[in-house]
Amino acid sequence: MTTITRSALVMYTAEQMFDLVNDVRRYPEFLDGCKSTEVINEGDDFIEARLTIAKAGLNQSFSTHNRLVRPEKMEMELLDGPFTRFHGVWHFQKLSDQACKVSLDMEFEVTNKLTGVALGAVFKQVANMMVDAFVKRAKVVYG
């Protein structure tokens, strides 16, 4: 199983960062390797979405159910895709009125052993740069 833990201190509110991460529809605009997204279902405290990752010749889709606790956290559980296990949590910890700590904790295991090594490496690369991508996106959106 692969585990990823990343964090960043940013001069944006927890609400602002939560809203960026929750705006799944815009991921293809700025998230390297994210080919497309589709919101399957959403409500006040959840969103279900399908993401297609295309990188290094691989093209894989997966969908998650994201439980939303705005602005503190977003918990992701696998609905379907090429993983035997997938779980992730975004945390948005308020540090002041204009700053927060953004953290991503994710663990996954790829189903198919044959393509698993390549897919695992690509997904790890995408996941590792996600926090940085959202920090850069915040600068574009919020200045």
pLDDT the model gives residue 115: 63
Listed in sequence order, the residues at least 6 apart from 10 whose beta carbon sits closer than 8 Å to its beta carbon are 17, 99, 100, 101, 102, 135, 138
Give the tokens for residue 45. Answer: 């405290």
Amino acid at 37: T
Listed in sequence order, the residues at least 6 apart from 57 whose beta carbon sits closer than 8 Å to its beta carbon are none
Phi-psi region of 111 (alpha: psi -120 to 50; beta: other; left: phi over 0): alpha
**Mind listing the pLDDT tens digit for each residue in 6-20?**
999 999 999 999 999
In the chain the domains, ranked by start, together with CATH numbers, are 2-142 (3.30.530.20)
pLDDT the model gives residue 116: 62
Listed in sequence order, the residues at least 6 apart from 19 whose beta carbon sits closer than 8 Å to its beta carbon are none
